[in-house]
Each structure stands twice: as structure tokens, then as C-alpha cells.
Amino acid sequence: MRSSRPRARAGLSLAAALPLVAGALALGVPAAHADSGPHDRQSLVGTKPVWATANADRGATPASNNVTARVYLAGRDAKGLADYARAVSDPKSKSYGKYLTAKQAKERFGATKGQIAKVTAWLKSSGLKVTGSSDHYLTVAGDAAAVKKAFGTELHNFVKDGKTYHAPAKTASVPADLDGAVLTVVGLNDAPRLTRHQDTLPGPSTGFRNAGPFSTYYGSKVNTSLPSAYGGHAPYAIKGYTGKQLRAVYGAKNFTGKGVTVAITDAYASPTIAKDAAEYAKRNGDKAYRKGQFSQVLPSTWTHTDPKECDAAGWYGEETLDIEAVHAVAPESDIVYVGGSSCQDDDLIDSLHKIVDGRLADIVSNSWGDVEKNETPDVAAAYDQLFQQGAVEGIGFYFSSGDDGDNVSKHGVKQVDTPANSPWVTSVGGTSLAVGKGEKYLWETGWGTHKAALSKDGQSWDGFPGTFTGGAGGGTSTMYEQPFYQRGVVPDALSKVNGTAKPMRVGPDIAAVADSSTGFLVGQTQTFPDGTVKYDEYRIGGTSLAAPVIAGVQALAQQARHGVPIGFANPGIYDRYGTAAYHDVTDHPLGKGQGIAVVRVDYANSADAKGGLLTSLRSLGGDSSLSATVGYDNVTGVGTPADNYVTSYIPGHRR
């Protein structure tokens, strides 16, 4: 992974390498990847990607080839930043909750003018041109010869996935006399590198609708003419849960998120979002947005918008889901949407920096990511430093854990998603949720769905229980060691895998509804096959739903805490483990061996009945090789918020 690598929308479903301690490890650079180098130079570990192997090496990159990169600054006290980020987030610490303002954080931990000047002079003396700067990094451009002079390594061409990219032939380094001012450099490999620019965004995305019939709550409508399964006839999938139902089952009570600001980050910006969000609230019983309650912070230009690159229009539904879900759960929270100019790491990092530098929000929901094999420690270091900077200001980051279970079926390798793998963020897993009549909580399973189509003669379900269609991401990181808050909670059977002697970071941390067959009703302006552009509603799921739902619940909890920011939430989340604050979710809530399923009827063309209907049985609670079990598990983490989760944050409240 490099800074220009595309990020996917990590949870939109329509159907100790790093203990939390001080030093380089706390900035996301696993020590196992370090290379020894000359004493007069400091190695920037992780800058040579793992795919740049001797077998893939095709020789030196021409010295005249152009390169652009970002040189991230470590700041004046990287160790102190990591230490304080932990202390201010740990309920057992004397510094718990003693957050800094954005100005105080910059003055205490940010790069000094002297450091910036020294790094700038070194880059220029190496033949690189400094093309831009921020409080966090310098952007540079030059040729491969200048890169060699600056970073002590040639660039070579390497074959990756059938294509050729350049990358450092060895770990990059910087002069030791820079005194640790450089955190890392990203961009020395170009896999991939996109260069197109567009100043305008495409129109509304392609229309999608669900066919009926539907249940209005779990089990409200059953068709007894269809084949039975698991000893009975399955109910139809619900039309889509609404805020009233989710607030009831996740313990909202009378809390509304008043006084709390939630930020949403995604790529691009839906041109109809404000209108769609207002219309959705009106139709579904949510409180109307007050003036100024929803705002947007958008870049001046857009890049990589082509469907073959980032597919800008494809992100509109993600943004819409995130905003409408947060408002549905926390109807009085302020919401600020901070859009990235593309789906590349550079641009998403910039969006997150805007939130931290301006202290724009208390809670940040992020429904995007990629698999860990595409992560590199250089970019991980940039992300983790940012998350630590947010932590010292009392800002918490929540990331979808992914929609492909252990990722084997899609990527061929068992692995977790990133940035959800970072121990400095809250990884949000997913469930299948049953809400009964009167908004009663019935049960949840770990989200893992199998699909069996109705046979042609209508007498059976083909290949029952069918093929795996998606499930909550989770599992064990190969990059990060177990953080302190998981000790004593996450079992060794989950944390010590892949031949590691030390326990590693396991995800997710917490969970909420994600299964698209028990999903959320969302409203969006779309373009339909007949050419019409109009608002419509459909059911949606994925951990893209779970993340903003948890963000909304955390807004309620912060209000219950008398408005004091929760900040980096994981230490507090694990501190409540084993209490009545959580639903302990398992794959078999009705008893061992008792399967659960729902019937779905979908339009074959995803929009209307002209192409016919497709009827299928969706079996719940079977997430690839992952399992939701009693206690902590790698599908739902510590569980989902129960009736008294929110009230557990009231000062002095006994859990």
C-alpha cells in the first residue's frame, strides 16, 4: 500500500508489532521490518514494500524518472505524543480525560519551525523540489537520482500482479543529523499511481430498489407457501430498520446526542445529500434538521473520479447511509461531512487532518478501508500519528471492520482490514439483528450470510444453505501487537495465531447491525433505468452501517457523560467488558444447532420488475472461518450496546 492507493468503501452491502507504548512502535512501524543501515543515517522502516522482492526485481529505474512523495514530520516529541494519547484515554490513568486543545497539541507535539526548515533544506540540497507543505508533511517532486541522494536507496522496477512498478531497492533512510524530525516517507513506490483530474462530480448514482414483500419487524410476515428451512417457514426480510427501532434496541432512552458533533469522512460529496437527508428524516419519523446542524467541509477540486479509478458516484450512497444513520440514532447531534478529493490515502488523510487540526468533531465515523496485505508500515505510521493526535484532543475514530469476513473468499488470504487494524481506532464489526414488535430486542447473530436460491420448481432451496455472500470483517493482525486494553479480554486462541509467540491485535472491538438482510432503510436521489432522477428508499447494510450506528450511540453516551468527550474509546469499551452494558452476541441465539434464515425477494435488474424477481433464502450467523461465541469474539468484539450501555457513561453510574 502507498499513499495513492485507492481505498474501498469498506462496508456498503446491498445484498505487540504495535503495542500502545512509546517510540517508533507506537507510530505504527513494526520493529520486525527494520533494516540496519549506516550509523550516519536513520532508517525509515517499512518504506520498502514486501512485494519488492529479488524475484520480482527487473532492474534499476531510470535516473530521470519523475517521482512525487510526502515526507511526514515526526514532530518535537513523538514518544510523548504516544504516551499522552494512551494516558488521556485510559480510565485507570490519572491523566484520563485531560485533553488538549488543538493549539495546545500542536505546541506540545507538532513539528517546530526549525525542524521544518532543516528538513526542507536537506530535501532541496538533494535535488528535490518542495511543492507543498502542511503542519504534518512536505510534498516533494524530483527524479529517481534525487530520490537516491535524499533517501539512500535506488529505485528499482518490480513486477506486482502482472504489472511493473518502481519501489525502493532497500529501506529508505534520512541523515541522522535531522535528529528524528522525519517520521516516514510515502510515495516512493507507485503501485498504483493515478493522475487524472476532474473539477466536477458525476450525477446521482445508478438506481437500486428492494422488491417486496417485506416484514415491518422481524417475523411480522411469513409466506408459508415457500419451502421450509430449519424446521419451519422463514419470515421475509424486513423493509429496513429505522431510527426508532435502532434507538430502542441499543439503549438510547431519552438521550439524543445533543451537544456532540459527529464527523463523517468519505471520498467526494453527493450533490443531493442535504435534500436527501431532510427528506429521509421527514418520511421516517426522525427529528428535522435544525439550521446549521448539518454542514460540509469539501476540497476545492476532485480527482480520480472515473468509474475505473475511484468511482465518485459510487461513494454517494456511502455518504448518504453514514449521515442518515447517525442522525437516526442521535437526532440532535451536529454532523459535519468532511469529504476527500479522492479515495486515495493522501486525500483521506488530509480529510482526517482537517478534523483534528480544527477540532471539528468529537467522534469520527469512517466506512472505508482495504485489506492488511495492501498496508505498508510507512502509511500506517502516518495514520497512527494522526489517530494519536486526535486522541490527545479527545477525538475518537471509528472504522468499519469490513464486509468479507476473514477475506479468504475474496482475497485468498486470511487477514483483517485496515485502518480498522490500528490499535488507535475502534474497529466496528457487524451483526444480524432481530427487532420484534414494539421495538423489542429479540436477538443478534454474528453477521455472516449464506444465500440459497429458490429452485426452478419452487420446491426447495438450491444448494442449501448456499454460498457465502458476506460477513463482518475480523481476525488477527500480522502488523500490530496486542494493545494494553485487550489484555485479559481477548483469548490467546485468537491473539496468538499465524505462528506468532506474542499476542497480536484482534478485531473488531464492538459491533452493531450490519447484515443487509436485517439492514437499515436509507433514502437517496438516484438515476433509474428509464432516465428519471428521483429520491427513493432501499434497505442497506454492511459494516458501513455498523460504524455510523456505533458513532451515533457514542454520541448518546457522551451526552450522558455530561458532554465530556469520550475520545479514543477502546480503553473504556474494554473496561465495560463482561457487564450488562453489552449484548453478548453468538451465532446461535436460539440454541445450538438451531439455524435462522430470512426470505428475500429482489429485482433481477436491481430497479424494477421488468427483469423478473429473484427469491432466495438467507441463512444467518455463519461468518467464513470467524465465529461469534460467548465472550469476546472476532466477529462482534465485546458485543453490541445493550439497554444500559449509554447510561453506563453517566458519572458515578454503577455498571
In a domain, residue 140? The reply is yes
Say how many domains are in the chain.
1
Cell numbers 473504556 correspond to 572
Span 228-270, pLDDT tens digits:
999 999 999 999 999 999 999 999 999 999 999 999 999 999 9
What is residue 472's three-state secondary structure? coil
Please determine, for residue 25, whether its predicted confidence score (pLDDT) is greater than 80.
Answer: no
Cell numbers 445450538 correspond to 592
Beta bridge partners of residue 182, listed in sequence order: 73
Please determine, for residue 4, whether its predicted confidence score (pLDDT) is greater than 50.
Answer: no
Span 483-532, pLDDT tens digits:
999 999 999 999 998 777 899 999 999 999 999 999 999 999 999 988 99
In a domain, residue 144? The reply is yes
In this prediction, residue 22 has a pLDDT band, given cuts at 50, 70 and 90, of: very low
Span 72-107, pLDDT tens digits:
999 999 999 999 999 999 999 999 999 999 999 999
In a domain, residue 86? The reply is yes
CA distance 316 to 298: 14
Please determine, for residue 37, whether its predicted confidence score (pLDDT) is greater than 60.
Answer: no
pLDDT value of position 16: 33
* More confident site: 6 or 140: 140
* More confident site: 416 or 33: 416
Please determine, for residue 195, whether its predicted confidence score (pLDDT) is greater than 50.
Answer: no
pLDDT value of position 32: 35
Please determine, for residue 641, whether its predicted confidence score (pLDDT) is greater than 90.
Answer: yes
12: left (phi over 0), alpha (psi -120 to 50) or beta: beta
CA distance 192 to 51: 13
Beta bridge partners of residue 427, listed in sequence order: 399
Task: Name the grid cell of 326.
Answer: 447517525
In this prediction, residue 10 has a pLDDT band, given cuts at 50, 70 and 90, of: low
In a domain, residue 89? The reply is yes
- Looking only at the bridges linking them, the beta strands covering 66-73 and 137-143 are antiparallel
Please determine, for residue 5, whether its predicted confidence score (pLDDT) is greater than 70.
Answer: no
Distances (CA, A) of 109 to 184, 393, 604: 16, 12, 55
pLDDT value of position 376: 83
Span 447-497, pLDDT tens digits:
999 999 999 999 999 999 999 999 999 999 999 999 999 999 999 999 998
Span 121-178, pLDDT tens digits:
999 999 999 999 999 999 999 999 999 999 999 999 999 889 999 999 999 999 999 9
In this prediction, residue 192 has a pLDDT band, given cuts at 50, 70 and 90, of: low
* More confident site: 10 or 589: 589
**258: nearest Cα among 589, 562, 601, 574:** 562
Residue-averaged pLDDT of the chain: 92
In a domain, residue 483? The reply is no
In a domain, residue 63? The reply is yes
In a domain, residue 32? The reply is yes
Q: Cβ(450)–Cβ(616) under 8 Å? A: no
624: left (phi over 0), alpha (psi -120 to 50) or beta: left
In this prediction, residue 30 has a pLDDT band, given cuts at 50, 70 and 90, of: very low
Cell numbers 440514532 correspond to 329
Residue 148 is part of which domain span?
24-198
In a domain, residue 19? The reply is no
Distances (CA, A) of 104 to 84, 272, 589: 13, 38, 48
Q: Cβ(402)–Cβ(417) under 8 Å? A: yes
CA distance 506 to 528: 42
pLDDT value of position 130: 97
pLDDT value of position 36: 45
**Percent share of the chain, pLDDT over 90:** 85
Mean predicted confidence (pLDDT) in 54-62: 96
Element (H, E) at 261: strand 261-267
Q: How many CB atoms lie within 10 A of CB 631?
A: 13
* More confident site: 383 or 35: 383
Please determine, for residue 27, whether its predicted confidence score (pLDDT) is greater than 50.
Answer: no
Q: How many CB atoms lie within 10 A of CB 176?
A: 13
pLDDT value of position 12: 55
Please determine, for residue 194, whether its predicted confidence score (pLDDT) is greater than 60.
Answer: no
pLDDT value of position 653: 81
- Looking only at the bridges linking them, the beta strands covering 261-267 and 334-340 are parallel
Mean predicted confidence (pLDDT) in 422-433: 98
In this prediction, residue 373 has a pLDDT band, given cuts at 50, 70 and 90, of: confident
Mean predicted confidence (pLDDT) in 536-557: 97
Half-sphere exposure of 608 (CA within 13 A, CB side): 8
Please determine, for residue 310, whether its predicted confidence score (pLDDT) is greater than 80.
Answer: yes
CA distance 26 to 17: 9
Please determine, for residue 18, whether its predicted confidence score (pLDDT) is greater than 70.
Answer: no
Q: Radius of gyration (Cα) for the chain, nearest Å?
A: 24
Identify each DSSP E strand in 412-508 by its residue range. Answer: 417-418, 426-435, 441-446, 448-453, 467-471, 475-481, 504-507
Q: How many distinct helices (H) and strands (E) make up the chain?
A: 13, 31
CA distance 298 to 354: 10
- Looking only at the bridges linking them, the beta strands covering 294-297 and 334-340 are parallel
Span 550-576, pLDDT tens digits:
999 999 999 999 999 999 999 999 999
Q: Cβ(360)–Cβ(297) under 8 Å? A: yes
**544: nearest Cα among 430, 425, 653:** 430
Cell numbers 512525487 correspond to 68
Q: How many CB atoms lie within 10 A of CB 438?
A: 8
What is residue 212's three-state secondary structure? coil
- Rounded to 5, what percent of the chain is helix, strand, coil? 25, 25, 45
Task: Name the grid cell of 147.
Answer: 530520490
Task: Name the grid cell of 10.
Answer: 469498506
pLDDT value of position 375: 83
Distances (CA, A) of 178 to 73, 174, 362, 363, 444: 11, 8, 35, 35, 54
**For residue 49, with 0-12 CB atoms within 10 Å meaning exposed, 13-18 middle and 19 or more buried, which class applies?**
buried
**646: nearest Cα among 551, 548, 556:** 556
Omega before residue 508 within 30° of 0, cis: yes
